[in-house]
Amino acid sequence: MTRSLFEEEHELFREQVRRFAEREVAPHFRDWEKAGITPKEFWRKAGEAGVLCTTIPTEYGGGGGSFLHACVVTEEMARIGASTGIPVHSDMVSPYLMHYGSESLKQHLLPRLCRGEIVASIGMTEPGTGSDLKSIRTSAVRDGDHWVISGQKVWITNGANCGVVLVACKTDPSAGAKGVSLIAVEAGTPGFSKGQPMDKIGLKAQDTAELFFDNVRVPIGNLVGEEGRGFVYLMQQLPQERLVIAVRSCAILEANLEATVKYVRERKVFGAPIAEFQNTKFKLAEAKAYITMLRSFVDDCITEHINGGITSEKAAMAKLTSTELLGRYLDEFLQLHGGYGYSNEYGIGRAWVDARVTRIAGGTSEVCKDIISRGL
């Protein structure tokens, strides 16, 4: 379908990102999956190519673009089926620093993030807390000119690779959500350690790890924004995170619909292409109808976001519908591939496995439904 939200500069940038993805990602991605991590060399190359931190102003080393540029990167990585952790690095951590960090913290961290010299992650989830951010137990106690952090984080994207992590911690355990703060902790700080990349069923190349904090001392200047405002900051940024998931999900559906149409036209069963069977036609027709509707809605959400910010309710709608349809139709596409769909020879199998987490990460489908229900 024709999309009106991108201008010529965005399409020129898309060509740049697509060339980078096909040159530096696609040929190596299977090796990264086997290794369970995206190499740091990739991050440096991505920084050199201008693929990272596209919305960060040029004075901090970023691309100086809009959320549309970020969408281009997300869509092009999704098109080749690559999960690299860029959205967390570029579209989550960098904006936190840009919007809430002190000038000295921005000057210290953002240029290195933009160049890919260090990889960024955000530590929210803990064992037993899941989506309940108010219940985190990682603590940060003020001691003179330092914060002393103790606790554990789990399911942290870019955790093994990270050079800096924004840690959601309790600076006032008695204040509930109002006691949560965000503090930047750099790799190499005494007491900060990482677990091995976790053995997940999907997203193999996107390293995920446990992080441990044993009386980690960091300067008070590493506080991101104001003390006790961390939960508010997280709630302000979560709509964009959910929208990024929707953007990626929609792009994955479009790419795999195209790949499946091509496959069924070539694959023959009982002497005829699979595409000629009514079941195949109906399955793909339904998929195209729903994906086209989804694309229209997601693009509308992108437009709303760049024109002033998407609401939590609408972002939850975008994430819920896109990820539920992603799981539904990738399963249909895999079925149309037959036995080949279950092998690693075709990208549909990897996409199908990778997609399962989208209904969990960034707020489960149930959490999204709860947010939507508040507006009924």
For the annotated catalytic residues, the residue numbers are 241
Q: How many CB atoms lie within 10 A of CB 145?
A: 9
Closest CA to 94 of 246, 307, 244, 319: 244
SS3 call for 267: coil
**Residue for token pair 């760049």:** 306
- The tally of CA atoms less than 13 A away on the side-chain side of residue 8 is 0
Residue 92 per-residue DSSP state = I
Write the burial class of residue 343 (CB in 10 Å: 0-12 exposed, 13-18 middle, 19+ buried).
Answer: exposed
Distance CA 220, CA 146 (A): 5
Distance CA 335, CA 342 (A): 9
- Nearest-5° angle of CA 88, CA 93, CA 94? 110
Backbone phi, then psi, for 126, in 5-degree steps?
A: -130, 160
User: Parallel, antiparallel, or unpaired for β 162-170 and 119-123?
Assistant: parallel
Q: What are 349's two structure tokens?
A: 């199998």
Query: Residue 12 belongs to what H/E stretch?
Result: helix 8-20
- Contact predicate 123/156, CB 8 Å: yes
SS3 call for 55: coil
